[in-house]
Amino acid sequence: MAATKFQITLPREKAAEWKRAAQRRGIPLAEWIRVTMDKELRGADSFQIRPPADWLTRMVNDEEQDPTVSSRIDQILYGE
């Protein structure tokens, strides 16, 4: 099977969390991501389209998120 490489950028904390999740399962991170995404895609028929800014509302309201989100909004949205 031919493979295609992808590159993603994650905050350090999220990358560490994903690595720990893979380690707990005893598999490489790339394999854990593939398995997880396959599961998500199989459930795609239950996916609901949300308003474009809905993710932003959830991010701001999520208590576990960084409290400096509002001061970093341009960086988050535009990568500046």
Amino acid at 23: Q
| CB < 8 Å & 24+ apart, contacts of 67-74 | none
Reported confidence tier of residue 78, pLDDT bands at 50, 70, 90: confident
Q: How far, in Å, CA of 37 to CA of 1, rounded?
A: 18
Q: How far, in Å, CA of 70 to CA of 5, rounded?
A: 33
pLDDT in tens, 27-68: 899 998 988 888 888 876 555 666 767 766 766 666 456 667
pTM of the prediction?
0.50
